[in-house]
């Protein structure tokens, strides 16, 4: 008889002997032993089994000894993840979270749940720093450090929530750390590359509709989602500026069903470059008030612009800008975010102060600007070329 057992660290068979005494058979796993539970009452036997299971986990280094003080049945990892996601979903409206946040958390937690199943760890008490580090190691071969860091953060938030809810005792917090890269490996477009992209889009009738979007990205450093959300009333052509507003708490916009949510929840003002202004003023305006549209007059989604950009813009130009020998990435590997790296780098080289670049890009930490900045050797050569030592 082994039905309806609670989530445990190890696999046990609950067996009732002819004498009526219940016994825990752990020979299917690392315990390799059988233990009398010292009672004929099944409920009491399960309580004793929970204690035995926890003591075994402590002896094997799976959980800290502090866990032994908690005699309650342990919540399963699957149940804990489901409850945590429901809790995050409940915060979307009152805290102004993006509706995508719970979905992003759930995707990462599913990876963690799958790993836990492979490791035969079913209960939340088995979530230790060692387990999390092994989980991150299992991802490292196929994913970038930033992806690993996001997984570590979410598992740590899950455990912190379980502690707050009293499911796990204090002292169960996860201390695992992931070193985040200080520099980016993403390709940063150069000035000649950006000029070629803009010229190609402008002169190619099949792809001309992408020209205003590419220009916005190059002249403002916006994220592509922000650029696609732009409306004509965001532009102040008198003051030559763009007011990019976070609208998650704007009741009027919510009623219209078109709420813009900016990363970091920070509105910002961006200078409107005179060349970008000329490009935009030449565009026809649609009744919906948005700036960027497909050739059919519809608002594009991400893949509507991403695929044409990669296959109909970068691919034809790749021969002109080949990847240098030995380089890991090159022009063909550029993406929309590469314009953001370009804008950050060129703004810095043209003399904008770091805090000004941060304000335009919407970064709260200077470290992000330093990560996006790609030094140009030609600029350093020009400056150092002014040095004269009289020889």
Helix axes 145-164, 100-118, angle to 10 degrees: 90
Which of 105, 100, 138 minimizes the C-alpha distance to 119? 138
Model confidence at 110: pLDDT above 50: yes
Model confidence at 98: pLDDT above 90: no
- What radius of gyration do the chain's Cα atoms show? 28
Lowest mean pLDDT, pick from 90-99, 201-210, 306-315: 90-99
Strand locations in the chain (E)? 13-16, 22-25, 34-36, 235-236, 241-244, 268-271
Concatenating the DSSP letter of every residue in 119-149 gives TT--BGGG--HHHHHHHHHHHHTTS-HHHHH
Q: Label the pairing between strands 13-16 and 22-25.
A: antiparallel
Lowest mean pLDDT, pick from 192-206, 219-233, 340-354: 340-354
pLDDT at 125: 79
Strand locations in 2-137 (E)? 13-16, 22-25, 34-36
Asked if residue 196 lies in contact with residue 320, where contact means CB atoms within 8 angstroms, the answer is yes
- State how far the Cα of 89 lies from the Cα of 97, in Å rounded to an integer: 9
Q: What is the chain's length?
A: 391
pLDDT at 385: 72
Residues 6+ apart with CB under 8 A from 141: none
Confidence of residue 72 (pLDDT cuts 50, 70, 90): low
- State how far the Cα of 348 lies from the Cα of 375, in Å rounded to an integer: 9
Helix (H/G/I), strand (E/B), else coil: 13: strand
Asked if residue 8 lies in contact with residue 67, where contact means CB atoms within 8 angstroms, the answer is no
Average pLDDT over residues 219-236: 96
Model confidence at 31: pLDDT above 60: no
Confidence of residue 1 (pLDDT cuts 50, 70, 90): very low
Confidence of residue 48 (pLDDT cuts 50, 70, 90): confident
**In this structure, how many other beta carbons lie within 10 angstroms of the beta carbon of residue 193?**
20
Confidence of residue 391 (pLDDT cuts 50, 70, 90): low
Q: Which residue has the higher pLDDT, 72 or 17?
A: 17
Helix runs in 177-311, H state only: 191-203, 211-220, 224-228, 251-256, 274-281, 302-308
Which of 235, 232, 229, 224 minimizes the C-alpha distance to 247? 229
Average pLDDT over residues 306-311: 96
Phi and psi at residue 24, to the nearest 5°: -100, 120
Model confidence at 59: pLDDT above 50: yes
pLDDT tens figures, 277-299: 999 999 999 999 999 999 999 99
Lowest mean pLDDT, pick from 28-37, 200-209, 219-228: 28-37
Lowest mean pLDDT, pick from 73-82, 323-332, 372-381: 372-381
Share of the chain above pLDDT 90, in %: 47
Structural domains of the chain, with CATH: 13-69 (no CATH), 77-164 (1.10.150), 191-382 (1.10.443.10)
Can you read off the two tokens belonging to residue 267? Answer: 């509105």
pLDDT tens figures, 121-180: 888 878 888 889 999 999 988 887 778 889 999 999 999 998 888 787 767 788 877 777
Which of 3, 45, 51 minimizes the C-alpha distance to 20? 45
Which of 180, 257, 262, 265 minimizes the C-alpha distance to 223? 262
Indicate the pTM of the whole model.
0.70
**85-120: b or e for each residue (b if 16 or more CB lie within 10 Å)?**
beebbeeeeeeebeeebbeebbebbebbbebbeeee
pLDDT at 264: 81
Q: Which residue has the higher pLDDT, 376 or 109?
A: 109
């Amino acid at each position: 008889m082994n039905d309806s057992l609670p989530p445990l660290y190890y696999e046990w068979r609950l067996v009732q002997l002819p004498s009526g005494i219940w016994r825990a058979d752990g020979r299917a796993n690392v315990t390799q032993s059988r233990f009398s539970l010292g009672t004929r009452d099944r409920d009491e036997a399960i309580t004793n089994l929970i204690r035995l299971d926890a003591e075994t986990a402590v002896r094997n280094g799976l959980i800290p000894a502090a866990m032994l003080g908690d005699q309650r049945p342990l919540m399963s990892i699957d149940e804990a993840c489901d409850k945590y996601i429901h809790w995050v979903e409940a915060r979307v409206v009152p805290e102004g979270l993006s509706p995508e946040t719970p979905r992003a958390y759930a995707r990462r937690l599913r990876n963690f749940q799958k790993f836990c199943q492979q490791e035969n760890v079913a209960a939340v008490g088995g979530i230790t720093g060692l387990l999390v580090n092994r989980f991150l190691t299992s991802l490292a071969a196929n994913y970038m450090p930033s992806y690993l860091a996001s997984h570590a953060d979410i598992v740590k938030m899950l455990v912190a929530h379980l502690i707050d809810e009293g499911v796990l005792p204090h002292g169960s917090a996860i201390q695992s750390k992931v070193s985040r890269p200080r520099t980016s490996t993403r390709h940063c477009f150069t000035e000649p590359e950006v000029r070629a992209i803009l010229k190609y889009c402008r002169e190619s009738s099949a792809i001309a509709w992408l020209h205003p979007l590419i220009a916005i990205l190059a002249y403002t450093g916006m994220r592509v989602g922000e650029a696609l959300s732009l409306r004509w009333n965001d532009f102040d052509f008198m003051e030559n500026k763009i007011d990019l507003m976070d609208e998650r708490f704007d009741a009027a916009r919510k009623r219209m069903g078109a709420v813009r949510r900016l990363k970091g929840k920070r509105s910002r003002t961006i200078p409107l470059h005179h060349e970008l202004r000329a490009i935009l003023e030449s565009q026809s305006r649609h009744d919906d008030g948005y700036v960027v549209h497909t050739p059919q007059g519809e608002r594009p989604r991400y893949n509507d612009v991403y695929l044409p950009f990669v296959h109909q813009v970068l691919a034809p130009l790749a021969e002109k800008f080949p990847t240098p020998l030995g380089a890991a990435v090159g022009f063909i590997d550029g993406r929309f975010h590469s314009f953001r790296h370009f804008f950050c780098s060129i703004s810095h080289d043209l003399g904008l102060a770091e805090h000004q670049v941060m304000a335009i890009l919407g970064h709260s930490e200077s470290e992000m600007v330093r990560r996006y900045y790609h030094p140009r050797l030609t600029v350093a050569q020009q400056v150092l070329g002014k040095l004269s030592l009289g020889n």
